[in-house]
Every structure is written in structure tokens, then in C-alpha cells.
Amino acid sequence: MTIDDAAIPLDAINRLNSMREGEHRGLFTSDLSVNEFLLVREAGFTPLGLVLGSSVYHVGVQMARWSKNQELTTLSEAMYHARELAMTRMETEARALGADGVVAVRLDIEFKEFGESIAEFIAVGTAVKADPEHPLAPPGYSWHNSLGQPFTSDLSGQDFWTLLQSGYAPLALTMGTCVYHIGHQRFWQALGNVGANVEIPQFTEALYDARELAMGRMQSEAERLEADGIVGVQLRSLPHRWGGHTTEFFAIGTAIRALRDDHTIEKPTLVLPLTD
């Protein structure tokens, strides 16, 4: 143990004792993990506070033809609209704090004891402010995106740090959704497949179609932001409460823009972890 290490508890304990006296200003909350908190600070950002937006939403009812592959537009619109409401409220909180951006955003849907077709849509993240003198901060660069809003990103603190190191800046969380009804097979069709290993083109096409629609919508959101690309995309299939044949396909990712031409990062050191 070096002298420096041993000195840590002394400094820490002295500060602990002094902080216990009186009222303190400048407290902020954050749901970042310790790793994320330290990395976000190292990247030149100061957390301002936890920001949260929520909407309890009644999702309309739409009937689908039993055997037909089709998008359920009413449901797609509902999933979009409710998420937008939650996101907008979160962004409003971030703007009120004077944030440059929101990191580690989570978008969740929870069906609670409100009834059958009612769910809570919630967006949570940590608002951050950039240090303009930090070496990573490009001179004169505004962290607000092309729509003049603080940036939003669903990347973890680790990914956020790496992204900035490589000369990219997050613009906004982009998403695309499609609620799709996959048609049931007709009796004769199903009978024809009994005992055979065959592709069922109707099902394949439906799943293809739905995913392409969701990803396409996410892409057009990114185009609107004049983004260079989207990173950390997740393509989720969320069955919610609509039975086996109706599924929400949800694409979500962070649209980014290049800050400089050179995108090389320091070569990582290889380590062999001694833990599982």
C-alpha cells in the first residue's frame, strides 16, 4: 500500500465530518452506476440531476383479420405517441436544469393495475452539462442537436465515453415502432406442412415486413437530425398483452455525428480477468 492510498481515508473522513455540518447546495441525483458516473465526469460532463418523464396511456383497440398479415396502425401510433409524451417530459426537465444533454436514457413500458389496455410509459436519464474547457470538447461546439435540443442518448456511461474518445457526438435517441399482426395459417395450408421441414413464407414475410418498417422509421428520424449514423441499435420484439400473433417490433438507437475526421482510439490493453 502506498502512502497515497493510505492517505485516502484521512482526506475522505475529514471531508465526511465537515459535510455533516449545515445545509449544502448543489446536490444532484443520478441513477448512473459508479463506473458510469466517474466515466461521464472524465469525459468532461457534470451530472446535473435525474430527469424523468412519464405518461399513463390507454392504448386503443384494433381488430385484425384472422388470416391477414398487417400492421395495426392504431397500436403503432399509440406506442409512438405515448413514448414521445414521456420523452418530451423528460427533455423538458432536462431543459429546466440547463442541460447540454441526457445520458443513459431508459425507455420502459409497464402494465400496472390500471386495467387491460393501460400502461405507463416512462423515460429516465441523467441530465449532464459539458465543461467547455475540457480537452475532449471541440472549440465552439454546441452539444445541442440540429433541432436545438439537448442531446439524448441511451448509451451506457462506458459506451458514451468511448464514443466521445473516438470523435463522435450523440445527437438524439431515435426509435421506430411497428405493431404487427401475423396472420394465422389457413387449415389446408397448415395441413400441407404436416411432417415436412419447410419454410412458411407467410410468417417469414410478416416478421421481415414488421422489422423493416420499425428500422425504417428509426432511420428516418435519424435522417431528420442529419445524423452520420445510428449506434447501439437494439431491435426488440415486445409481445405486451396482445396474444401470440400480435407483436410490437421496436428499434431504438442513438443517432450520432462526427466531431472530427480522425476516429482512431488508443489501442486497448488486453487483460485476462481472474473472475467469472
Residues within window 242-271 making contact with another protein, judged by CB under 8 A: 265-266, 268-271
Is the distance from CB of 178 to CB of 219 less than 8 angstroms?
Answer: no
- One character per residue 165-204, x = contact with another protein (rule: CB under 8 A): x---------------------------------------
Is the distance from CB of 180 to CB of 136 less than 8 angstroms?
Answer: no
Residue 33 interacting with another protein (CB under 8 A): yes
Q: How far apart are CA 95 and CA 127, in angstroms?
A: 9
Instruction: Name the one residue in this structure whose C-alpha cell is 428509426.
Output: 218
Q: 117 or 246: whose CB is closer to another protein?
A: 117
Is the distance from CB of 180 to CB of 72 less than 8 angstroms?
Answer: yes
Residue 32 interacting with another protein (CB under 8 A): yes
Q: Which of residues 35-74 bind another protein (CB under 8 A)?
A: 35-39, 41-42, 44, 46-47, 50, 52, 54-62, 74
Q: Which of 145, 156, 177, 247 binds another protein (CB under 8 A)?
A: 156
3-class secondary structure, 235: strand
Q: How far apart are CA 201 and CA 8, in angstroms?
A: 65
Q: 37 or 203: whose CB is closer to another protein?
A: 37
Q: Which of residues 67-126 bind another protein (CB under 8 A)?
A: 74, 77-78, 81-82, 85, 104, 110, 112-115, 117-118, 120, 124
Q: Which of 69, 96, 131, 223 binds another protein (CB under 8 A)?
A: 131
Q: 3 or 191: whose CB is closer to another protein?
A: 3
Residue 191 Cβ, how far from another protein at the closest point, in Å?
35
Strands 101-110 and 151-152: parallel
Among the residues of 97-200, which ranges form H helices? 157-165, 187-192
Q: How far apart are CA 11 and CA 29, in angstroms?
A: 23
